[in-house]
Structure formats: C-alpha cells, structure tokens
Amino acid sequence: MPTTWRKSSRSGNGSNCVEVTFAGDDVATRDSKNPTGPVLRFTQQSWSVFLGQAKASRFNC
C-alpha cells in the first residue's frame, strides 16, 4: 500500500479530511481520522472527472 498520503493545504489543522495518494495507475483515498481503515481506489481518469465536477460545484452537500 502507498505510504505518501496528502491532504489539501486548505484543510488546515482539521481532522475531517480525505487523504489522497497515487498508487500505480490508480488514485487511493482514505479518511484522515482512520488511517488504518478502508481505502477507496479510483482510476486516474475517474478521479479527474470527480475533481472537475467538484470544482464546478456540481454536488449538493
């Protein structure tokens, strides 16, 4: 499993963050509050689409 996890610089010192790492051809994500918990993996293409949609505020949260 990858060892270099990153979270947004905008997250500050908050603990409610998603951490991301590149794992071969995939992008892996995890909850920063539970680093030994489950990891979700996405293709780089699907991750790019997700980020584009998030940046365009396409999600109702």
Residue 58, CA distances (Å) to 4, 11, 17, 45 in order: 29, 20, 20, 18
Mean pLDDT by 10 residues, the chain (61 residues): 75 77 91 90 94 85 61
Instruction: Enter the pTM of the model.
Output: 0.74
Q: Identify whether 61 is part of a domain.
A: no
Q: Identify whether 44 is part of a domain.
A: yes
Q: Identify whether 41 is part of a domain.
A: yes
Q: Identify whether 60 is part of a domain.
A: no
Q: Identify whether 2 is part of a domain.
A: no
Domain count of the fold of the chain: 1
pLDDT at residue number 11:
72
Q: Identify whether 25 is part of a domain.
A: yes
Q: What angle do CA 15, 40, 51 make, to 5 degrees?
A: 75
Structural domain containing residue 44: 9-53
